[in-house]
């Protein structure tokens, strides 16, 4: 994208070393344009004396040099490179940092356990609409547990065990037996016993971060045949994690490698990760699991390059505005008018008391109105189909998966029959009643679009009010609105069938202003 800057975020983790290439436009919109991962398992490379050997340090140097070449190809000009538990806990950590800086050219920042917890929380809380809970980040060499209230980090702790070093300690060959499983659970319980606050806030959701948690999510989704390929903000009931923990750990490693959703490079470390997560969940008395697809790397990016004023608007609106800035082809004035009109119509219909909706339905209409034309960035022809795909398969922060589908289907709405087919396809996520809800929102959005079909703001809805038998619109014409009137006339029957009210249009004035 022209006039954009490219930013490289590198996370030297205890299991893998990851690069995220972010693009940020002059207007502030951002996206990840590429990601790369190299499995290093640094926590397994620590020697008996607690040091990382020179040969293993050179492995990191080679990976960082490779990442630098990738960044050069992507025209990256700014970096933030951070190292976590494996290097932090190494007896020769300063030597490692000096070597990496000298031979790779990167200034490598060594994060403390508190830094990891803070940055992981920042990445999560900027992308999820959740007020209270526990946040658990299981890495390769450490586990961070945080308690947050009213979207504020209250307390955190970093334990010196993660999926990789726990595997090395209890089952270096990747095979687990009851004795090892009891040992892992006891290790976690002993650590929690030293932090009594973890047991003092029962009933909260537990948000999980990290590759291991995302893997558990994928296993669960494949087992359920989940119809939406999104991990961020995915909810897993406690019983389903307990069921997984009952059969997966004792399965032979070769069979574990064949589990749908489990990558072969995690077949061994998935077991300690699962047991650590489950033990913390049970000790905290948590209500359910929530998966966050955003974490440490996102926190590093937000802190350095994308400070967000969280009070200005709902994060779902910010996320939609960000997506729109990256992909818009429609005039901004048109999209703004469509959004204003759709909300004015919705408010008129609901304030009369005949139609009642959950408050978040209004938010879904806002997002659908902002993004209904986004598919035209791929192709104007059949853009509703492209809009559906882009909305449904893009992370919109702050929305549940059900809400994302409602937004996507309302934005691309054509007929109720087509919507019924889509709701049936996503029946594991959507409710039966969502067909009627989506039809109402979709029809309202079609009407808002019709009122500016020429995209020139020929008409303005000055007043909208609802009575028992009709929705009345008083309009002000700024110039020839004949195209708009034709479109609105063609929607009157559909509006009546969907909302159960007539649509009455009154032109009250003509203005050239």
pLDDT of residue 510: 65
Per-residue pLDDT, averaged over 75-91, amounts to: 96
- Closest by CA position to 210, among listed 149, 162, 246: 162
CA distances from 45 to 39, 159, 269, 309 (A): 12, 19, 15, 42
| Domains assigned to the chain | 5-111 (3.30.420.40), 114-299 (3.30.420.150), 315-454 (1.10.3210.10)
pTM: 0.94
Quote the Cα angle for 355-356-361, to 5°. 110
Sign of the alpha-carbon torsion through 212, 213, 219, 221 = negative
Q: Which tens digits make up the pLDDT trace of 326-357?
A: 998 899 999 999 999 999 999 999 987 788 89
Burial 337-369 (b: 16+ CB within 10 A, else e): bbbebbbbbbebbeeeeebeeeebbebbbbbbb
pLDDT tier, 308 (very low <50, low <70, confident <90, very high otherwise)? low
Averaged pLDDT of the chain: 94
Q: Tokens in use for 102? A: 């000298």
For the residues 2-24, what does the mean pLDDT come to? 94
Query: How many other C-beta atoms can be found within 10 angstroms of the C-beta atom of residue 507?
Result: 13
**176: helix, strand or coil:** coil
Closest CA to 373 of 412, 339, 402: 412
Q: Which two tokens stand for residue 315?
A: 């994060």
Q: In the predicted model, is pLDDT for residue 313 greater than 90? A: no
How far apart are alpha carbons 344 and 69 in whole angstroms? Answer: 52
Strand partners, 23: 6, 31
Q: What is the pLDDT of residues 16-42, one digit of tens each?
A: 999 999 999 988 899 999 999 999 999
At 327 the pLDDT is 92
User: Does 310 have pLDDT greater than 60?
Assistant: no
Asked whether residue 190 carries a pLDDT value surpassing 60, the answer given is yes
Q: Does pLDDT of 218 surpass 90?
A: yes
Residue with tokens 């929102």: 441
In the predicted structure, residue 185 carries a pLDDT above the cut 80: yes
Q: What are the strands, taking DSSP E only, across 247-317?
A: 289-291
The answer to whether 298 and 397 are in contact (CB under 8 A) is no
Backbone φ and ψ of 32, nearest 5°: -85, 125
pLDDT at 2: 60
Strand, helix or coil for residue 244: helix
């Amino acid at each position: 994208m022209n006039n954009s800057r490219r930013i490289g975020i590198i996370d030297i983790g205890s299991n893998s070393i990851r690069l995220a290439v972010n693009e940020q436009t002059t207007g502030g919109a951002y996206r990840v344009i590429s990601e790369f991962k190299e499995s290093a398992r640094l926590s397994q490379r620590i020697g008996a004396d607690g040091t990382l050997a020179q040969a293993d340090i050179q492995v990191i140097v080679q990976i960082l040099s490779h990442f630098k070449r990738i960044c050069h190809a992507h025209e990256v000009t700014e970096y933030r490179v951070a190292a976590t538990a494996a290097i932090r806990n190494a007896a020769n950590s300063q030597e490692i940092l000096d070597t990496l800086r000298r031979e790779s050219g990167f200034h490598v920042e060594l994060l403390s356990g508190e830094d990891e917890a803070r940055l992981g929380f920042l990445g999560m809380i900027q992308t999820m609409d959740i007020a209270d809970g526990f946040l658990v980040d299981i890495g390769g060499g450490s586990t961070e547990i945080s308690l947050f209230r009213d979207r504020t980090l209250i307390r955190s702790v970093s334990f010196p065990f993660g999926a990789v070093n726990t595997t090395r300690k209890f089952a270096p060959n990747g095979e687990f037996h009851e004795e090892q499983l009891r040992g892992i659970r006891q290790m976690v319980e002993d650590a929690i016993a030293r932090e009594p606050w973890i047991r003092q806030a029962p009933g909260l959701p537990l948000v999980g971060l990290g590759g291991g948690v995302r893997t558990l999510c994928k296993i669960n989704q494949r087992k359920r045949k989940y119809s939406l390929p999104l991990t961020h903000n995915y909810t897993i009931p406690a019983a389903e994690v307990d069921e997984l923990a009952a059969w997966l750990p004792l399965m032979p490693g070769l069979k574990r490698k064949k589990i749908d959703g489990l990558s072969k490079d995690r077949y061994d470390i998935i077991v300690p990760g699962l047991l650590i997560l489950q033990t913390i969940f049970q000790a905290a008395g948590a209500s359910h699991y929530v998966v966050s697809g955003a974490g440490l790397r996102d926190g590093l990016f937000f802190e350095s390059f994308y400070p967000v004023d969280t009070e200005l608007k709902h994060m779902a609106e910010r996320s939609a505005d960000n997506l729109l800035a990256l992909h818009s082809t429609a005039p901004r004035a048109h999209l703004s008018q469509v959004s204003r009109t759709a909300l004015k119509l919705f408010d008129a219909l609901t304030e009369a008391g005949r139609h009642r909706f959950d408050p978040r339905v209004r938010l879904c209409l806002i997002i659908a109105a902002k993004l209904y034309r986004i598919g035209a960035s791929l192709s104007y022809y059949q853009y509703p189909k492209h809009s559906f795909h882009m909305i449904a398969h893009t992370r919109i922060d702050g929305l549940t998966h059900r809400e994302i589908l409602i937004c996507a289907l309302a934005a691309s709405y054509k007929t109720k029959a087509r919507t019924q087919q889509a709701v049936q396809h996503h029946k594991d996520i959507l409710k039966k009643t969502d067909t009627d809800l989506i039809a109402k929102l979709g029809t309202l959005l079609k009407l808002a679009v019709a009122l500016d079909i020429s995209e020139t703001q020929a008409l303005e809805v000055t007043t909208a009010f609802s009575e028992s038998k009709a929705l009345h619109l008083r309009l002000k014409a700024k110039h020839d609105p004949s195209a708009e009137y034709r479109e609105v006339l063609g929607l009157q029957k559909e509006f009546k069938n969907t909302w159960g009210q007539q649509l009455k249009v009154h032109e009250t004035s003509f203005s050239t202003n």
